[in-house]
Chains A and B, each alone.
Chain A
């Protein structure tokens, strides 16, 4: 067979060589691909495989998990069980879609980092409540031995509890707090000393000196680098300041025996005129002062850019979560100091209203990993999770590798991580500012704060209050949604109770099973009552918001 090209000449040598090379490369590919899938080969030899899927691409996380995996495989091999665990990751941007398609396909990874609605979780993930109540076998010989798995967590696994189903669909692995990262050399150059600011006013002082320094050397120095866009730091800083001045709200207005005052309760009190408005708005004043040291155009800056500016030495103070700690400390060409965000001190004009530092206990635990129902080795997967969240291993993965605070109790913070130890003890529980309810109103509040900073109105408190009143329609909308959601929630919970009731009718139930179902019913009833109370409060809150709107509009008309 003669190979001819279109002009009738025999195919040139180059073409033949090319074809030959292509074929050779193809054969190599086939070999590599089959080798890659050699798990299939391993399966014949009785090797069990586990796949762990997550989106934590931060420095050190994957390495930490790899170290834990090696340890686990080694330990299991010593017990005579052959296991191979693989990590597979996707950037957060594409995680939602990858996650949902996996679950729908019927062939998801064995262990996945859990996100999404309660319904989605209950549909695809194994309920873990039975295991949560028993001790973690891998905690033997540690300070946490004998404690139920749930109680080995700093938050008692509260954040992993799904309210609708009263069930745990996953277990967390780390938590985060907010800290201030300082460019030590830059600060030293500007202030002429090594001292870190301890109070808010000292901080403002440092910032002023930094600005002066920047002007002196003619370089763009940004005292405080924040990010705008979504998850803006401004909101967080405002909330922290608010909480330090209004912690009394939690003591004065708790509801239904809770430890903190719910948002809706505060709206009700505001509408009834029982709150000191001036005091509520003091934080706005302080935020305006703080904001003068942000960069120009901070409203459209994102995390990447602020980090970049920090690395290039243009930013002195960077308030950010501990999830970025290691990459910031490691990758900066200068020395980075980590300190608590300075709280208000006696030198501050509002100090009379100071109610204490904000506690960080009970900050949510993240990195929730669950076992999928479709997994082929669920017991093994669960075993691995217990291993991963055991006292020794959790600290190893989190603290040794990615420098994150681990989720377990009594963790030993050493070195850099000393600074991440959550604030507790004499600290107050956080009070949430009653100016936003949901996503939309949060964005509006953020915009108001940004305007307060950028436009510098002479009376920021009043300005902010006007903005809040103007944004009431959003809060009303969100409250109406909350009422509807609450009703839906009631139906869901009642549905759960119904299922438990049907279960109890089954024949041949063992005693443990019966107890379990009855427990479910009882928890469901508690949730139901709780939800009903919430609904009642939300409805009252809705009324209060409407009353507030009427009051303010009437007042505005009078002024005219």
Chain B
């Protein structure tokens, strides 16, 4: 369908390259140049401004010996594990929604899933921060009204070393982002009627239908979401920053690699080290993508 242009016809068609020139230049300058520049500066002690001295493998050695960095990966691991569990609810919600018979209710529900997504993410996060606020926040107020907390007592959800990571994990309950739900719903809607009729004839119960028909058929979407989730969680640091600031919480226990880069580079001025950790994150993402390709492509 597309017009094939061999090298012979090039002199008539060369203007076509202009079409792609603009995006290409933008991407080359604003994406590729920083990538290479960043890679080069791994080997430098760079403060982003005047100091730029070649230090060889110093930064890489520092990366390997940095306990804070190692701990931040552990935190990411915790987040990935919890995000895995958090994937269950959207799937469940999509399935339940799919089975709602009333058409109008169905449409209404789909709408209601999407509305919270349009509220700016920052507002959502700040509302949850308010939930966790020690003096007047919702959670503590609730506990107080249930008499589980005395009137002058508070629980420091975000300032207590032991509580901060669970609080970050729990935030955003019930974790039904409209993206997940609607995508799974679309997948479910693709299931042909005959399959359901066959199942009915077999006398299959609702649970069996879910487990043996619906789940496998939306597995592709689930897998895609899974890999996107993992890659996303490895990179995500904005929510941690929002809740506990650049220090990463009490004693920095909730620091994630992205936050570490942000802090080391833009607060402490260690640009070279920031590049090194960034490169490490790139390798991790590469690894995850590679594993995903091996894992997902096997069953299509």
Q: Do chains A and B touch in the complex (CB under 8 A)?
A: yes
Chain A residues proximal to chain B, CB less than 8 Å: 93-94, 96-97, 100-101, 103-104, 106, 120, 123, 220, 222, 229, 295-297, 300-302, 304-305, 308-309, 314
Q: Which of A100, A123, A229, A302 contacts B267 (CB 8 A)?
A: A100
| Chain A binder among B42-50, B85-93, B190-198 | B42-50
Nearest to A225 among chain B residues (CB) is B152
**Residues of chain A contacted by B269 (CB below 8 angstroms):** 100, 104, 120
Q: How far is the CB of A518 from chain B (nearest CB, A)?
A: 28
Q: Ordered nearest first, which 3 A-B pairs have the shortest CB separation?
A: A104-B48, A308-B135, A97-B267
Q: How far is the CB of B247 from chain A (nearest CB, A)?
A: 8
Q: How far is the CB of B163 from chain A (nearest CB, A)?
A: 11
Nearest to B136 among chain A residues (CB) is A308
> Is B153 in contact with chain A by the CB < 8 A criterion?
yes
**Residues of chain B contacted by A94 (CB below 8 angstroms):** 245-246
**Residues of chain A contacted by B150 (CB below 8 angstroms):** 220
> Is B151 in contact with chain A by the CB < 8 A criterion?
yes
Q: How far is the CB of A145 from chain B (nearest CB, A)?
A: 41
Nearest to A307 among chain B residues (CB) is B135
Residue pair A305, B135 in contact (C-beta under 8 Å) = yes
Question: How far apart are the CA atoms of A104 and B274 in the complex, in Å?
Answer: 15
**Residues of chain A contacted by B262 (CB below 8 angstroms):** 97
> Is B134 in contact with chain A by the CB < 8 A criterion?
yes
Question: How far apart are the CA atoms of A104 and B48 in the complex, in Å?
Answer: 6
Nearest to A306 among chain B residues (CB) is B135
Given contacts A100-B267, A104-B269, A304-B135, contact A93 B245 (CB under 8 A): yes
Nearest to A222 among chain B residues (CB) is B152
**Residues of chain A contacted by B159 (CB below 8 angstroms):** 229, 300, 302
Question: How far apart are the CA atoms of A545 and B106 in the complex, in Å?
Answer: 75
Question: How far apart are the CA atoms of A314 and B76 in the complex, in Å?
Answer: 41
Question: How far apart are the CA atoms of A305 and B262 in the complex, in Å?
Answer: 29
**Residues of chain B contacted by A300 (CB below 8 angstroms):** 156, 159-160
Nearest to A219 among chain B residues (CB) is B151
A-B contact count (CB 8 A): 50
Q: Which of B136, B151, B246 contacts A97 (CB 8 A)?
A: B246
Nearest to B134 among chain A residues (CB) is A305
**Residues of chain A contacted by B135 (CB below 8 angstroms):** 304-305, 308
Question: How far apart are the CA atoms of A297 and B153 in the complex, in Å?
Answer: 8
- Which B142-156 residues sit within 8 Å CB-CB of chain A? 150-154, 156
Nearest to B246 among chain A residues (CB) is A97
**Residues of chain B contacted by A308 (CB below 8 angstroms):** 135-136
> Is B268 in contact with chain A by the CB < 8 A criterion?
yes
**Residues of chain B contacted by A296 (CB below 8 angstroms):** 153
Question: How far apart are the CA atoms of A298 and B112 in the complex, in Å?
Answer: 44
**Residues of chain B contacted by A220 (CB below 8 angstroms):** 150-152
Nearest to B133 among chain A residues (CB) is A304
Residue pair B134, A304 in contact (C-beta under 8 Å) = yes
> Is B266 in contact with chain A by the CB < 8 A criterion?
yes
Nearest to B135 among chain A residues (CB) is A308
**Residues of chain B contacted by A301 (CB below 8 angstroms):** 154
Residue pair A96, B267 in contact (C-beta under 8 Å) = yes
Nearest to B152 among chain A residues (CB) is A220
Q: Which of A96, A229, A304 contacts B246 (CB 8 A)?
A: A96
**Residues of chain B contacted by A123 (CB below 8 angstroms):** 49-50
Nearest to B155 among chain A residues (CB) is A300
**Residues of chain B contacted by A305 (CB below 8 angstroms):** 134-135, 154
Residue pair A104, B245 in contact (C-beta under 8 Å) = no
Question: How far apart are the CA atoms of A154 and B50 in the complex, in Å?
Answer: 37
**Residues of chain B contacted by A309 (CB below 8 angstroms):** 152
Residue pair B268, A100 in contact (C-beta under 8 Å) = yes
Given contacts A300-B160, A308-B135, A308-B136, contact A106 B152 (CB under 8 A): no
What are 21 A-B interface contacts by the 8 Å CB criterion? A94-B246, A96-B246, A96-B267, A97-B246, A97-B263, A100-B266, A100-B269, A104-B47, A104-B49, A123-B49, A220-B150, A220-B151, A222-B152, A229-B159, A295-B152, A296-B153, A297-B153, A300-B160, A302-B159, A304-B135, A308-B135
Q: How far is the CB of B43 from chain A (nearest CB, A)?
A: 20
Residue pair A106, B134 in contact (C-beta under 8 Å) = no
